[in-house]
Structure 1
């Protein structure tokens, strides 16, 4: 799936490969206070029902979504977009692509959790059709925060 952005630079979405994991791990460290290690990413991607979609422009990974599927549900484990790729709908492209893949595999619902204090991400997910399902108190550390549980039913 390819999409042209406002700046007319081509974004390509594809499945991540083992060769992409170091670049994904670098993006993890830049985007999260609790980044996953290269080893954690390698182990996750090796799991049978886990996948990762990357958004690439000019050979550079600008964003990714790491997810796992069980029965008829898909859980987003990690999603990130590099600062240089923000406000260009890359996150929306990644989520839409994940929805298409999920529908192809008879997934009925996509789940995620997000830091309660991350109002920007919560607003983004709401704009993409996700609803709040509940809160897990004191779920996150470094820094501490509650997790807002969200989901989207696929039609």
Structure 2
């Protein structure tokens, strides 16, 4: 996919319907609209949306939800529309989230991932995440274990990301 085809930016109110559809198609126990709305209004929560740069309807291709608390980031939810998978959209969303968090002073990031979700684990490993623990039976729907992964953000991004100005981030 051409890098110019994807625009990553802040959540917009009109995105919620497409986000719920992607969520429902991506997870056995999807977040509800209410959960997303709570995340949107939480002062520690951030949501980035990847969409077609052309601005056409049906243009939400994926999203990432994360919390930033002090110098840590907790990645909560990443999903990409089924027909847009395997095009590096999740990687680009994660890269942008990390870039913004580094600029805001975050030093470490963590996440939980299903033990069976090997594609996600491989993507996170490419960003420097390593397995640091496990939560047995974490996922209620299947009783599956969650792997706990951590990354040192200062090792993930070139110093240029940390030095990016606010205008650069808003225009990303």
Which runs of 5 or more structure 2 residues have no equivalent in the other structure?
A: 155-172
More helix by share: 2
CA contact (8 A) 1:18 1:42 kept: no
Q: How many residues end up aligned between the 2 structures?
A: 150
What pairs up with 1:3-152 in 2 under 5 angstroms? 5-6=1-2, 10-57=5-52, 58=54, 59=56, 60-152=59-151
Q: Tell me the distance in 2 between the aligned counterparts of 1:117 and 1:128.
A: 19
CA contact (8 A) 1:133 1:150 kept: yes
Query: Where has structure 1 moved over 3 Å in runs of 4 or more?
Result: none
Cα RMSD (Å) of the superposition?
A: 1.3
Normalised by the size of structure 2, how large is the TM-score? 0.83
Query: Secondary structure at 1:122's aligned position in 2?
Result: helix
